């Protein structure tokens, strides 16, 4: 199957492109760089869905599109520009090119947490489900890799500010496999969610990560105000069913940062 991965150089897009190649797909990767992030067997296409450049060329002759679009912003207007308007461009171009399946990666709990970025993701889902191409939406919990992003964003001198929230983090590679399964399974609307094997407190995950890195940063738990913060603390990002990944955060950390991040050594 000829499959286009949009955002195919990102946290999930890269292992997804590799997984699809492994399964025998003819894989294209659409990114602003035009590269494939080292994915052997994939073909890179340069484009920017927010600007509308390179999209028509990338979808030409493609049977399935996997939408892993992401943007680092807390501004809803910026998120809407990329996630919603960008996805609509993909859908319109896909419909014109005869694409038969649009698969969207989304986030568990976005309909339960009143947060600007999640509101944009919800509108993106609505654009896909109401769009001109048969579709599948797969929601995932935060990735193990996201813990490092939160630690980086929260750094203030020697302190690391981390929001209090409960989640069940999942390995990006396991989300990639679920997306590949969705591509091959055909359009189904809303697919079962995917989450990690166990519930975790995000503050604990950041502490374990820093310890594994030998980072002496002091983790400061932060209580987000309002309904969004309350929903996160109450477990709105926990999966209520669906598929579960197998790799725990400790196991992932041991694989990427050595044995200091695994098991009792990581949680002591």
- Is 215 a domain residue? no
Closest by CA to 245, choosing from 47, 15, 9, is 15
Sign of CA dihedral 246, 177, 70, 122: negative
Dihedral of CA atoms 158, 162, 167, 173 in degrees, nearest 10, equals -50
Residues 6+ apart with CB under 8 A from 17: 5, 8, 27, 29, 36, 37, 39, 42
Which of 256, 168, 244, 154 is closest to 209 using CA atoms? 256
Residue 149 falls within a domain, yes or no?
Answer: no
Q: Is the pLDDT of residue 261 over 70?
A: no
Overall number of domains in the chain: 1
Average pLDDT over residues 36-47: 93
Q: What is the pLDDT of residue 259?
A: 57
Q: Of all residues in the chain, what percent carry a pLDDT higher than 70?
A: 96
pLDDT over threshold 80, residue 265: no
Q: What integer is the mean pLDDT of 4-19?
A: 96
State the pLDDT at residue 54.
95
- Paired with 67 in beta bridges are 6, 104
Asked if the structure places residue 250 within a domain, the reply is no
Q: Confidence class of residue 191 from pLDDT cuts 50, 70 and 90?
A: very high
Does residue 268 or residue 166 have the better pLDDT?
166
- The reply to whether 95 falls in a domain is yes
CATH number for the domain harbouring residue 53: 3.40.50.720
> Residue 183 has what pLDDT?
98
157 occurs within a structural domain? no
Task: Report pTM.
Answer: 0.92
Examine residue 219 and state whether it is found in any structural domain, yes or no.
Answer: no
Task: Give domain status of residue 154, yes or no.
Answer: no
Segment 258-262 mean pLDDT? 51
Per the structure, the complete domain to which residue 23 belongs is given by 2-142+170-195
- Residue 40 in domain: yes
């Amino acid at each position: 199957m000829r499959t286009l991965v949009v955002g195919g150089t990102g946290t999930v897009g890269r292992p997804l492109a590799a997984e699809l190649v492994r399964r025998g797909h003819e894989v294209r990767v659409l990114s602003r760089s035009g590269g494939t992030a080292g994915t052997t067997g994939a073909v890179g296409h340069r484009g920017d869905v927010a600007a509308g450049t390179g999209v028509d060329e990338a979808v030409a002759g493609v049977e399935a599109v996997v939408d892993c679009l992401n943007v680092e912003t807390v501004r809803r207007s910026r998120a809407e520009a990329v996630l919603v308007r960008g996805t609509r461009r993909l859908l319109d171009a896909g419909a014109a090119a005869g694409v038969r399946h649009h698969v969207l990666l989304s986030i568990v709990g976005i309909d339960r947490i009143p947060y600007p970025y999640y509101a944009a993701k919800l509108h993106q889902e609505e654009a896909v489900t109401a769009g001109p191409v048969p579709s599948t939406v797969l929601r995932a919990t935060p990735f193990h890799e996201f813990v490092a992003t939160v630690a980086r964003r929260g750094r203030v001198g020697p302190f690391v500010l981390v929001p209090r929230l409960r989640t069940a983090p999942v390995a990006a590679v396991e989300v990639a496999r679920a997306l590949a399964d969705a591509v091959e399974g055909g359009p189904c609307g809303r697919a079962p969610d995917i989450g990690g094997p166990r519930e975790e407190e995000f503050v604990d995950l950041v502490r374990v990560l820093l310890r594994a890195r030998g980072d002496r940063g002091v983790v400061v738990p932060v209580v987000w105000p309002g309904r969004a913060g309350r929903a996160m603390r109450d477990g709105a990002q926990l999966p209520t069913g669906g598929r579960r990944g197998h790799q725990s955060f400790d196991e992932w950390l041991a694989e990427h940062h050595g044995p200091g991040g695994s098991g009792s050594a990581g949680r002591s």
